[in-house]
Amino acid sequence: MQVTVVGSGYVGLVASACLAELGQQVICVDSDRAKIDALQRGETPIHERFLPELLARHCGTRLKFTSSLADAVKSSSVIFVAVGTPSTESGDCDLSAVEAVARELSRSVNEYKLVVQKSTVPVCTSEWVRRIMVLNGAPETSFEIASNPEFLREGTAVTDFLYPDRIVVGVNSKRAASLLRDIYRPLTNGSYVRQKNAIPEPDEARIPTRLIETGARSAELIKHASNAFLAMKISFINAVANICEAVDADIEQVCAGIGADARIGDRFLSPGIGYGGSCFPKDLKAFRAIARESGYDFRLLDEVIRINEEQCRHFLRKVRNALWTLKGKRLAVLGLAFKGGTDDVRESPAIAMIELLLREGCEVAAYDPAAMPKCREWLQERVIFAESAYDAAESADAILLLSDWEEFAALDLQRLRRALKYPIVIDGRNLYDREMMAQRGFMYYSVGRPDAFPRESPEHVSQLKKAS
């Protein structure tokens, strides 16, 4: 089957590469000619594990790139729409890009086409797309609209696509359902994983994948409701972690007890400095706007957002408690991306934390394995960008761990301690064991766990007095 993917952003590019990996003939379309030229040269614009391998494997054969939507649509049976839907000032989704694609599609339909919404959109968007296409001249019987929401996590997007928990298809006809079942058959019958060069399956992968068939409206709601629920779990456990700190309990022990309940599970029960990225903040605001327009006051979402916004300020208080005063302090910040494994800094709590530190008069030396190029434009004159975690730590008053990169969990702690002015680590991602850090001579602060200090040797007592 030949398919078109409209949009070469995060979702569109991953979907294009993975659909080609599943055996489809894919044309990826983007109006940005420079971006298309870069992709044709083999450049990978985003940091995502396994994506460079898939692009190298399929570019020029199963996967092609173009800026001509009309040509791509005429030769394709299925068109996936994966364009951006950013938030407006009111929190609604900006659907102007979706509308522009719908208008252009209406001029290119020459026979039956299935138009599949891959972008995260409000409920009823599929009906609006259909209406726009008909108003712009597309015969009503020449196309159908379906919804196929993505559930990709940045950093693991390729494996999430090829080994998903579930595939949701929102369709209104047997014909549309049959086309989408054909596209995803290598996943739903388990044949993909048996291919010679298949991307390795992650732990606990569900093989074969379950395909859930719904109506288009239900599929659109599933995406927003899923992200809202996951964000709620993160805010909930962060609130519980704050209580743990107040009563000297251990959030890891609490999470173990909560997560053992099969009705709750342990995924997304990871306290830290809050969620970020391109999905959760935007999708919560959009879902709240959808509820409001539907006549329902979804105040639970307001509280999820409030807790998340407060979490950075709570962590700043932790930094201040560890250092007493912040003005003039040199701090090593490890992590700029909103999470490890990606270079995405959109809505990153690490960036929000740096902004707060700069306002306090701190000097910040930052390091991130992938995200620094995207931060230089607006942080370059205010932040020192280090070549490594050890360079960032050189003569710093403390280290702040703000992104959960695997690299940060495997640092040479003795080398790190030698580089620091004071052996203070403030861990916003709970990457280290408390007792081990104390044994290595660090004053260690984390989220939702008791602080850990080395034994009070004369050297450590002197360092504690200097730090405060």
Active-site positions? Answer: 279
Q: How far apart are alpha carbons 375 and 356 in whole angstroms? A: 16
State which H helix or E strand residue 401 sits in. strand 398-401
Q: How far apart are alpha carbons 106 and 81 in whole angstroms? A: 13
Q: Among 174, 241, 161, which Cα is nearest to 201's?
A: 161
- The Cβ of residue 37 has, within 10 Å, a number of other Cβ atoms equal to 12
Integer Rg of the chain from CA = 24
List, in order, residues 6 or more apart from 365 with CB less than 8 Å away: 330, 331, 332, 333, 383, 384, 385, 386, 391, 392, 393, 394, 396
Beta bridge partners of 261: none
Token representation of residue 382: 């205010």
Q: Strand 113-117's sheet: what is its strand order?
A: 63-66, 25-29, 2-6, 78-81, 113-117, 143-147, 166-170, 210-214
Find tokens 């952003």 and name the residue: 9
What long-range pairs does 326-330 form, CB within 8 A, spacing at least 24? 326/357, 326/360, 326/361, 326/362, 327/360, 327/361, 327/362, 328/361, 328/362, 328/363, 329/362, 329/363, 329/397, 329/398, 330/362, 330/363, 330/364, 330/365, 330/395, 330/396, 330/397, 330/421
Q: How far apart are alpha carbons 303 and 351 in whole angstroms? A: 22
The torsion of the CA quartet 401, 404, 407, 412, rounded to 10 degrees, works out to: 40
Q: Kindly give the interhelix angle for 251-259 and 216-247, rounded to the nearest 10 degrees.
A: 140
* Contact (Cβ atoms closer than 8 angstroms) between residue 239 and residue 311: no
Tell me the pairing of strands 443-445 and 424-427.
parallel
- The Cβ of residue 261 has, within 10 Å, a number of other Cβ atoms equal to 9
Find tokens 């959009």 and name the residue: 286
* Contact (Cβ atoms closer than 8 angstroms) between residue 298 and residue 221: no
Q: How far apart are alpha carbons 91 and 344 in whole angstroms? A: 21
